[in-house]
Structure 1
Amino acid sequence: MPPITLTNSYAPPRPAEPSDEELLHPPGGVYDVNFCFPVPPELESEKVRLVPFVPSVHMPLFQEKTAQHPSLFKYVSFGPLLALPDALQMYERMIRSDPTATWFAVLDKTRADSSAADAGLGLGGAFAGDIGILSASPGQSQAEIGYIMYLPESQRTHVNTHAVGLLLHYLLDAPAQGGLGLRRVQWKANAENAASVRAALRLGFRSEGTLRWHMVLPEGKEGAEAREDGDGVRGPGRHSAMLSLCWDDWVGGGRERVDMLMARD
């Protein structure tokens, strides 16, 4: 057998980059969420509605309102989003082009949103922010709740309890109950973000420890100082707190706990 010479022709994939016009005006008025699980048209409680995040509808609101509060982006790997084109391309690159991730717009039914009404959006509640799913895997029967960002007026209110509770029902309820019946839902937070960890624990997630040097953050973000003699990747490091709420936790009292908190908040 003749000797075999090895080669490596790998090059990072270059995803398509739709124009801002295409992102704001989907061809034919049809927007493909490109998610690996069925996406419900809405999830709703007495106080909160979650609807699939459609950039042409929700991104102008999200970008305009979050740009006024740059501190909202302290613990996430993107932003601040100071211009609508940057926000649209971020969403296309990080979320829509990744079939394991999707976002929902969070609407607070207890408040009217004059800016949305003035724009003729008819959202059915005040735009409170977003909540997402990432690292979803039908084969591994799991998903992660993340990309949670609420406007200041919606923080420390009923909004997070109801938004997360609705997603937990969607992900962990049995199919006969209208859910996906997954085995595991996880929650990863910047280890410095104590408020996020407390929110997860309150909703019944269990701590599984800390993933050290879990992520490389963009330059300019706060994080751990990177090694000088490493592989040349630039940007500080992030340690992540890992928590989970699994199917046996859910059927063993977790569902009732979440419902109790949603009824109380």
Structure 2
Amino acid sequence: MPYANNYIPIPDQKAAEHELYGPKPYDINFALPLPEETLDTPSLKLVPFIPSDHAQIYWDKVKDHRSALYRYYSRYLPSLPDFLTWLLPPQPLPNLPGHHRQDVSLQNLQMEPGYILVLPEFQPPDSIASRP
């Protein structure tokens, strides 16, 4: 039975410099309300990652530790522009009844975070991340 395989790999995305950090104000595009007062405790404050505010600071902290920090990530990000391009939002999914993001429950007002990375300076010496 003859067949063809016309697969063409998708080329790497290269965003223009002015697109890397997103628009002002940055749209976090999250499915649930995000009241800031619920994300703050005396010992921890969660903030949405806004590339224009956080990307350079983040990259300065991870660039020398990438092989350890990204060990279990699905891709290795060699530079800040590659990291920012990787964060480009995917194309929106069609609005199908009964289908929502699988990691967000609107009914229970709950979400499951994706990647969580603890910077080396905040990892205790006996953390799981420091074990081989």
Q: 1:18 to 1:135 in 2, by over 3 A?
A: farther
Please tell me whether residue 73 in structure 1 is matched to residue 70 in structure 2. Answer: yes
Q: 1:19 to 1:137 in 2, by over 3 A?
A: farther
Equivalent of 1:50 in 46, 56, 59: 46
Q: Which residue of 2 aligns with 1:146?
A: 114
Q: Give the conservation status (yes or no) of the 8 Å contact 1:136–1:144.
A: yes
Q: CA–CA distance in 1 between the matches of 2:20 and 2:36? A: 20
Q: CA–CA distance in 2 between the matches of 1:17 and 1:41? A: 33
Matches within 5 A, 1:4-153: 19-24=16-21, 26=23, 29-41=24-36, 43-70=39-66, 71-79=68-76, 81-92=77-88, 96-97=89-90, 135-138=103-106, 142-153=110-121
Higher helix fraction: Structure 1 or Structure 2?
Answer: 1
Matches within 5 A, 1:171-250: 195=128
Runs of 4+ in 1 over 3 A off after TM superposition: 96-99, 139-142
1:147 is paired with a residue of what secondary structure?
Answer: coil
Post-superposition Cα deviations, 1:215-236, rounded to whole Å, max 9, x if no partner, equal xxxxxxxxxxxxxxxxxxxxxx
Higher Cα Rg: structure 1 or 2? 1
Aligned residue pair count: 108
After superposition, the CA RMSD in angstroms is: 3.5
Q: CA–CA distance in 2 between the matches of 1:140 and 1:25? A: 30
Give aligned-pair identity as a percent.
Answer: 37
Question: Which segments of 5 or more consecutive residues in structure 2 lack a partner in the other structure?
Answer: 1-12, 93-101
Q: Give the conservation status (yes or no) of the 8 Å contact 1:36–1:138.
A: yes
Q: Give the conservation status (yes or no) of the 8 Å contact 1:66–1:72.
A: yes
Q: TM-score, normalised by structure 2?
A: 0.63
Q: TM-score, normalised by structure 1?
A: 0.34
Post-superposition Cα deviations, 1:166-202, rounded to whole Å, max 9, x if no partner, equal xxxxxxxxxxxxxxxxxxxxxxxxxxxx937xxxxxx
Q: CA–CA distance in 2 between the matches of 1:78 and 1:140? A: 32
Question: Which segments of 5 or more consecutive residues in structure 1 lack a partner in the other structure?
Answer: 1-15, 100-133, 158-193, 197-265
Amino acid at match of 1:151: L
Q: 1:135 to 1:17 in 2, by over 3 A?
A: farther
Deviation at 1:19, TM superposition (A): 2.8
Q: 1:138 to 1:155 in 2, by over 3 A?
A: same
